[in-house]
């Protein structure tokens, strides 16, 4: 299979991955802050300036982007999905002493290091957003095959998160991203969202409940509310991260969806210029490689 790659697909794919990193870097500054605290300190937070509780250098990304890159490396090195290779890549990442690691991700990786298991038992404490934030490389690599996407997404998620809400949220975000990458718009994402709400009504986001924590329900309610009520990449990202709380992850996920919808050219240049050039370069290489795994060959940017 060697389907020609339309420029719009590459722009959306690169935009999704780059948007994830930009949203991560923008949101990290205000992670764990409440909206009123953000307003007092920044007014409206709209620039990548670093700082925050992690005291980051401007443009530094966190675990959201780093775990995505680790998953992408495993997919590319193995020529496709292999759960053990993905787990090994997460181990390598954890051993690199990352600046931030979610508790559930850390627990799952350490479980694998101790007993080699690729999934823990279902756990009420696993309903966080850690599986959803890092799934984009797998979405890209399986863009030609919906069944593979769904099966591999759950295997990827269960490396660290084994909970029906995490599963549902991760799958729904992936389905939305697939629709957008293949040329769809926000309206085209509604069936995936409607299916999520029918199966798991707790995710209902209208009216917006106003929480943006790392709980997968709060994360999706925030991202979906902003996604369907903004009309540009910048507005989507700014409105999302100014909800505070787990702002690096809500920002990363919103950036992923926004990049897939609006394309790479819609991402403000001033934000991209703040990112580590090595991160941008690896994202570009991974996008090309992951789309090749999906059966697409790049013809134009």
Q: What's the confidence (pLDDT) of residue 99?
A: 93
Q: Which of 239, 219, 210 is nearest to 44 (CA)?
A: 239
- Cα–Cα dist 68/92, whole Å: 13
Q: What's the confidence (pLDDT) of residue 63?
A: 97
pTM of the complete model: 0.96
Q: Predicted confidence band at 299 (pLDDT cuts at 50, 70, 90)?
A: very low
Q: Judge whether residue 7 has pLDDT over 80.
A: no
Dump pLDDT digits (tens) for 23-51: 999 999 999 999 999 999 999 999 999 99
Dump pLDDT digits (tens) for 97-142: 999 999 999 999 999 999 999 999 999 999 999 999 999 999 999 9
Mean pLDDT of the chain: 95
Average pLDDT on 191-213 reads 98
Dump the DSSP string for 61-108: --HHHHHHHHHHHHHHHHTS--HHHHHHHHHHHHHT--S---HHHHHH
3-state SS, residue 232: coil
Q: What's the confidence (pLDDT) of residue 297?
A: 75
Q: Predicted confidence band at 8 (pLDDT cuts at 50, 70, 90)?
A: confident
Provide the percentage of residues in the chain whose pLDDT is more than 70: 96
């Amino acid at each position: 299979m060697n389907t020609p790659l339309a420029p719009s697909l590459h722009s959306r794919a690169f935009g999704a991955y780059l948007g994830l990193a930009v949203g991560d870097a923008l949101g990290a500054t205000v992670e764990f802050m409440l909206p009123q605290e953000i307003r007092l300190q920044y007014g409206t937070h709209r620039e990548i300036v670093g700082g925050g509780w992690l005291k980051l250098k401007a443009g530094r990304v966190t675990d959201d982007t780093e775990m995505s890159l680790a998953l992408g490396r495993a997919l590319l090195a193995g020529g496709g999905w292999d759960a053990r290779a993905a787990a090994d890549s997460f181990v390598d990442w954890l051993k690199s002493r990352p600046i931030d690691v979610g508790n559930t991700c850390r627990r799952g990786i350490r479980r694998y290091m101790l007993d080699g298991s690729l999934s823990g038992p279902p756990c009420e404490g696993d309903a966080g957003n850690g599986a959803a934030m890092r799934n984009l490389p797998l979405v890209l690599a399986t863009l030609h095959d919906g069944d593979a996407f769904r099966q591999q997404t759950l295997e990827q998620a269960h490396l660290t998160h084994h909970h029906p809400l995490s599963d549902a949220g991760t799958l729904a975000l992936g389905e939305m991203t697939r629709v957008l990458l293949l040329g769809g718009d926000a309206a085209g994402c509604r069936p995936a969202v409607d299916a999520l709400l029918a199966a798991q009504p707790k995710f209902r986001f209208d009216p917006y409940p106003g929480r943006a924590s790392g709980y997968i329900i709060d994360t999706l309610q925030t991202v979906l509310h902003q996604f369907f009520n903004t009309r540009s990449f910048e507005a989507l990202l700014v409105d999302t991260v100014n909800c505070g709380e787990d702002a690096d992850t809500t920002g990363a996920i919103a950036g992923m969806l926004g990049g897939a919808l609006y394309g790479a050219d819609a991402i403000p240049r001033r934000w991209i210029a703040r990112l580590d050039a090595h991160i941008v370069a690896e994202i570009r290489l991974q996008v090309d490689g992951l789309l090749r795994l999906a059966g697409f060959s790049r013809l134009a940017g």
